[in-house]
Amino acid sequence: MSRYDFYKDGLEIKQFKHIPEISSYNHNYYIGNNKDLLFGESDDDNTTEWWVISGEYSHYLGESYNSEGDKLNRYETRCT
């Protein structure tokens, strides 16, 4: 079982704690499962891409859409 299996399709991003001290416009950080650092990069339309950051490495999780309540859509590779 991968440590990323927790981050399933339909997971609500709002359940995680936002970290405003290191976030900025269209670049937001959250405390994820087991204190994972989540990074969301948004465009000015509707889409946010999500990664789990671990040291100097990152693991792509997928996308969420404002129009769908920011629920994670898991993808193995980037769509955009």
pLDDT in tens, the chain (80 residues): 788 889 999 999 999 999 999 999 999 999 999 999 999 999 988 999 999 999 899 999 999 998 888 899 999 888 76
Contact (Cβ atoms closer than 8 angstroms) between residue 28 and residue 18: yes
Per-residue pLDDT, 76: 83
Per-residue pLDDT, 80: 63
Per-residue pLDDT, 35: 92
Ranges of each domain in the chain:
13-74
Per-residue pLDDT, 65: 92
